[in-house]
């Protein structure tokens, strides 16, 4: 395995940005719930739903982006190996 494939997730700048984003959304959701406690009105409920949906889209987008990147790098690695074998 190459050094780049053994890279830890916490050393990735994209992963750190994703974690900060996720903690931010979770903090905002927790704050809204804490602020309204038992009396969540229509406005607060809609804000919470919007935050949860947005957070879900960010999570799905990040995961799909990583899957696409992994697939691309796997195909590129296979193509490079095949070219090297053809040259030999």
Q: What is the pLDDT of residue 32?
A: 83
Altogether, the residues listed in the chain come to a count of 88
Max distance between CA atoms of the chain, in angstroms, equals 73
Average pLDDT of the chain is 82
Whole-angstrom CA distances from 76 to 23, 25, 81, 83 are 34, 35, 9, 11
pLDDT in tens, 30-54: 888 888 888 878 888 888 889 889 8
């Amino acid at each position: 395995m190459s050094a780049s494939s053994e890279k830890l997730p916490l050393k990735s700048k994209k992963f750190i940005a994703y974690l900060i984003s996720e903690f931010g959304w979770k903090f905002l959701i927790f704050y809204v719930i804490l602020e309204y406690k038992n009396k969540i009105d229509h406005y607060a409920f809609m804000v919470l739903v919007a935050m949860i949906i947005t957070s879900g889209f960010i999570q799905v987008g990040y995961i799909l982006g990583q899957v696409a990147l992994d697939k691309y790098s796997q195909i590129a690695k296979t193509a490079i190996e095949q070219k090297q074998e053809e040259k030999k």
